[in-house]
A and B are shown apart, each in its own frame.
Chain A
């Protein structure tokens, strides 16, 4: 079998059709059914990590194999997908995953958050608020939030089962005692429906509040670790904190040099050989849309 993400091997099939060398969206129907069962279980028990038999995908672990399998199990021919990597649609990773599904599923693709029915993401939540009917698929490297302090899986499983989450606060305590504030900036732990503590994948904690009461379905896939978890629409998602050190969103204090937004998550980019720096929106679609709208 050829690498389906390698588009140089042949022409992309005509719109609305997919490469007939592959089953629709690459995975076979039995595997998709197995993943859908895991997804349904995950949706029924928000924040609970469901084991699943992760398959080999034609891309290395770390490239979102968990997210790709979840997306594959969810896609229907009518879907319009968007793929982002740290907010951008045009990185190698995002482009190759998008092409993978163009080729194997023949689905439409878009960069517009509002037009997408399914968004696969690595490490960001779009700035444009998600809506009912949309699915957000997260690529997850490490699903277990307790692993940092408790490496034994038998023990972490028990801790989840018995809701013994004091250790999560020990981690935050350590943060404050060594930095004066909660320094955790990514993969910031959340409590789901006051039951399971969940790792939201390495999104910046700026994005954490977007998960709370989100109208879209949120699905998390960890390929190497073989875990799936999920948040159904309108789920309570609360970031852990202390009474005297409440959770705060964190962003570079500045304004986007391209669109002027002062409330988005910003990346600092180097502009030229002299090292001139500029802040720009990490969400490239959001930024471009604002620029377009300002021009009209």
Chain B
């Protein structure tokens, strides 16, 4: 099997401040990769670079496009990259406010990506939106309510529905469960795991919560000061960490 996404030697500095350095990995269809590390270790920087929102200083990012196969997304023209971001890719923000339009109804939020790619039948858009609300376990009776009237967990599920509606093949998530109560987190993770399996999605999920990695990820990458210090199968790294920093991360979690 060929990778769907390939990251090669990515480096990003903010002036003299290192964001991330020399990061490479391949991601296969249906695979979930967790990126863990302490605050400031470069997780978000890496995610923003590989999802096309920040330009790297060095390195390349390749995506297996439907029409042209493996293509460098860093070399892609902006319109093409934005089109990719609206169709085959999805990005779930930690703060739902960054990923939702708070002044637009739930149905409009889910429908936007469809309308962006040319959907022009109100009834169909609404039906699809309603179907997705059901899939993320939101009350379809609230399709005309604004996200500001939803709880944090509901907003996050709405953001996921809004992202999945165009059938993306690759999803980037930055701390999607951060800021939620533990029970709400558990429910969201459960939902995510089922959706990812059902849809065969490739996922790159950034988190500092090893429980999230344990539950969702097949593989994990441990970052420290902008560099990858260890990577491997999630269970292996969590049960038998090799790098001292990974050992520290795992042991600090076990102590809780």
Mark A residues whose CB is within 8 Å of B: 149, 162, 164, 166-167, 169-170, 173-174, 176-178, 242-245
Choose from B79, B104, B120 the contact partner of A170 (Cβ within 8 Å).
B104
Choose from B78, B103, B107, B116 the contact partner of A166 (Cβ within 8 Å).
B116
Q: Known: A178-B144, A242-B122, A243-B120. Is A149-B103 also a contact (CB below 8 A)?
A: yes
Chain A residue, CB-CB nearest to B101: A149
Query: Please, which residues of chain B bring their CB within 8 A of the CB of A177?
Result: 105, 107-108, 126, 143-144
* Least CB distance, B85 to chain A, in whole angstroms: 11
Q: Known: A149-B103, A174-B104, A174-B105. Is A242-B82 also a contact (CB below 8 A)?
A: no
* Least CB distance, B31 to chain A, in whole angstroms: 30
* Least CB distance, A119 to chain B, in whole angstroms: 34
Contact B125 A173 (CB under 8 A): yes
Secondary structure dominating the interface of B: helix
Contact A166 B117 (CB under 8 A): yes
Query: Please, which residues of chain A bring their CB within 8 A of the CB of B119?
Result: 169
Query: Please, which residues of chain A bring their CB within 8 A of the CB of B116?
Result: 164, 166-167
Choose from A149, A164, A166, A173 the contact partner of B122 (Cβ within 8 Å).
A173
Cα distance A173–B129 in the bound complex, in angstroms? 12
- Of listed A149, A177, A245, residue having the most chain B CB within 10 A: A177
Query: Please, which residues of chain A bring their CB within 8 A of the CB of B78?
Result: 162
Contact A244 B105 (CB under 8 A): no
Contact A173 B115 (CB under 8 A): yes
Identify the 7 closest CB pairs spanning chains A and B, nearest first. A166-B116, A166-B115, A169-B115, A242-B122, A243-B121, A162-B79, A177-B144
Contact B82 A170 (CB under 8 A): no
* Contact of B42 with A by CB under 8 A: no
16 residue pairs of the A-B complex, CB under 8 angstroms, read A149-B101, A162-B79, A164-B86, A166-B113, A166-B117, A167-B116, A170-B108, A173-B108, A173-B125, A173-B126, A174-B104, A174-B108, A177-B108, A242-B120, A243-B121, A244-B122
* Contact of B123 with A by CB under 8 A: yes
Cα distance A166–B120 in the bound complex, in angstroms? 10
Choose from A149, A176, A245 the contact partner of B104 (Cβ within 8 Å).
A149
Query: Please, which residues of chain B bring their CB within 8 A of the CB of A178?
Result: 105, 144
Chain A residue, CB-CB nearest to B116: A166
Query: Please, which residues of chain A bring their CB within 8 A of the CB of B86?
Result: 164
Q: Known: A162-B79, A164-B82, A178-B144. Is A173-B120 also a contact (CB below 8 A)?
A: no
Choose from B79, B103, B111, B113 the contact partner of A173 (Cβ within 8 Å).
B111
Choose from B112, B120, B122, B143 the contact partner of A167 (Cβ within 8 Å).
B112
* Least CB distance, A151 to chain B, in whole angstroms: 10
Contact B144 A173 (CB under 8 A): no
Interface string of B68-91 (1 = CB under 8 A from A): 000000000011001000100000
Contact A173 B107 (CB under 8 A): yes
Query: Please, which residues of chain B bring their CB within 8 A of the CB of A149?
Result: 101, 103-104
Contact B144 A242 (CB under 8 A): no
* Least CB distance, A225 to chain B, in whole angstroms: 21
